[in-house]
Amino acid sequence: MTLNQNRHDTQIAIIGGGISGLWLLNLLRNQGYHALLFEKDALGGQQTFASQGMIHGGLKYALGGFTTTASETIKDMPNVWRNCIEGKGDIDLSGLEILSEDYYLFSDAALSSKVTAFLASKSLKARIDTLDRKDFPSAFASTSFRGRLYRLQDIVLNTPALIEKLRNKYSRYIYQCAPIVQNHEGRITGLHLNENDTLRADRYIFAAGSGNAQLIQNTQLSQTSMQIRPLQQVMVKGNLPTIFAHAVSLKAGSKPRITFTSHPHPDGQTVWYLGGNLAEEGVGKDPIDLIEDTKKELAALLPWIDLTDTSWATLNVDRAEPSQNTHARPDFPFVEAKDNAMVCWPTKLTLCPMLGDQVLEKLSTAQFTRHEETLLQLPTVQIAKTPWELAFD
């Protein structure tokens, strides 16, 4: 550090501008903390925009025919988010565009009688409706569709609109920067922002998704390690009807075979963004082969939809999460506090409100210095492009 550096102070420094960092910035500033956020590239550009934007109610984790820790942890989340969208939650998301108020589950063939009975059971009554043909969404109105259709309580958010909303209220506290974390004997002593500026905070929050691994390694603060679970998602663009649904097939066992979400492309066409088992099994496949396999599966699942004039692409992306013994999907958001640092992974966009509660709880016993609000002379940061804007430029 040179002598003529500008030394700034704040209460909380957040590293990472995906959903978790931006959620925490809004939550903490709403609570009166002086918090600043640093994003190295563009807001939302990693897992957040690669996500399908679904706010899960957990039904997809119960397709084995029984509820699980995952399905129970998450079941209230659609209501928590709806409250925020109605302006009644911890974060004000009023007016946020929802891509779909409804999410469906359809089967290509009769489901096993065990799963069918479970889906119709009293315990799931508030979470799922079996639909009559007259209530089918238009994409399934064809008489060629002979499977069953259920409506779940999940909603689908427009993630760029979500990130824009979370950015707007506190945009002057968000900076483009990849800070170098300075530490001494296991305690963070400051952030080196650039050759002129350093920042000292009472608390430092790592909310950098897969970037947390490097931050943890550089600072040696946490015993925690990160796991990544890769996916190869498929994108199809054309004049397509919107589909928001899990395709469930006996072939995929207790996991959705294909998870469909539909997103507007700036050119006016619709992009189907396809995940689920298809994307898990797609890892390592040549994109051309994965696209060919997907075309065959869609032709079998939705034979009435014409896919002749469509463009195709795939996206390789990793989910970044705290390591689990079995490398399985974690059921809860993760927050670890050590000295003046915290490491966070929401594990699902859906679980950010729970992540926020955990962070607030851990901060409630911390001591904060009172000083003037700091505004830094650093570049502002843009919102990233979506994977389908990049793929179909």
Ligand X SMILES: Cc1cc2nc3c(=O)[nH]c(=O)nc-3n(C[C@H](O)[C@H](O)[C@H](O)COP(=O)(O)OP(=O)(O)OC[C@H]3O[C@@H](n4cnc5c(N)ncnc54)[C@H](O)[C@@H]3O)c2cc1C
By beta-carbon proximity to ligand X, the closer residue of 74 and 115 is 74
By beta-carbon proximity to ligand X, the closer residue of 219 and 350 is 350
Q: Which stretch binds ligand X (CB under 6 A): 10-18, 130-138, 288-296, 324-332?
A: 10-18
Q: Using CA atoms, how far apart are residues 385 and 329, in angstroms rounded to an integer?
A: 27
Q: Is 40 within 8 Å of 34 (Cβ atoms)? A: no
Rg (CA), the chain: 22
Total number of residues binding ligand X (CB under 6 A)? 38
By beta-carbon proximity to ligand X, the closer residue of 116 and 293 is 293
By beta-carbon proximity to ligand X, the closer residue of 145 and 197 is 197
By beta-carbon proximity to ligand X, the closer residue of 28 and 145 is 28
Residues 6+ positions from 170 with CB-CB distance below 8 Å: 25, 26, 29, 37
* Member of 8, 10, 14, 20 binding ligand X (CB under 6 A): 20
Q: Using CA atoms, how far apart are residues 139 and 241, in angstroms rounded to an integer?
A: 6
* Member of 19, 163, 174, 205 binding ligand X (CB under 6 A): 19
Q: How many CB atoms lie within 10 A of CB 299?
A: 11
Q: Using CA atoms, how far apart are residues 387 and 275, in angstroms rounded to an integer?
A: 13
**DSSP track, 150-216:** EEES-EEE-HHHHHHHHHHHTGGGEEE--PEEEEETTEEEEEE-SSSEEEEEEEEEE--GGGHHHHH
| 353 CB-contact burial (10 Å; exposed 0-12 / middle 13-18 / buried 19+) | buried
Binding mask 206-245 for ligand X (x = CB under 6 A): -xxx-x---x---------------x-x------------
* Member of 137, 275, 282, 322 binding ligand X (CB under 6 A): 275
Shortest separation between residue 83's beta carbon and ligand X, angstroms: 17
* Member of 174, 319, 343, 386 binding ligand X (CB under 6 A): 319
Q: Which stretch binds ligand X (CB under 6 A): 4-12, 15-23, 64-72, 238-246?
A: 15-23
Helices 159-169, 19-30: inter-axial angle, 10-degree rounding: 30
* Member of 10, 348, 353, 359 binding ligand X (CB under 6 A): 348
Shortest separation between residue 16's beta carbon and ligand X, angstroms: 3
Q: What is the largest CA-CA distance in the chain?
A: 76
By beta-carbon proximity to ligand X, the closer residue of 145 and 387 is 387
Indicate whether 54 belongs to the interface with ligand X (CB under 6 A): yes
Binding mask 143-182 for ligand X (x = CB under 6 A): -----------------------------------x----
Q: Which stretch binds ligand X (CB under 6 A): 3-11, 36-44, 87-95, 303-311?
A: 36-44
Shortest separation between residue 351's beta carbon and ligand X, angstroms: 7
Q: Which residues pair with 227 in a beta bridge?
A: 321
The three-class DSSP label of residue 337 is: strand
Q: Using CA atoms, how far apart are residues 7 and 228, in angstroms rounded to an integer?
A: 36
Q: Using CA atoms, how far apart are residues 1 and 128, in angstroms rounded to an integer?
A: 59
Indicate whether 28 belongs to the interface with ligand X (CB under 6 A): no
State the residues that interact with ligand X by CB under 6 A.
15-21, 38-41, 45-48, 50-54, 56, 178, 207-209, 211, 215, 231, 233, 275, 317, 319, 345-350
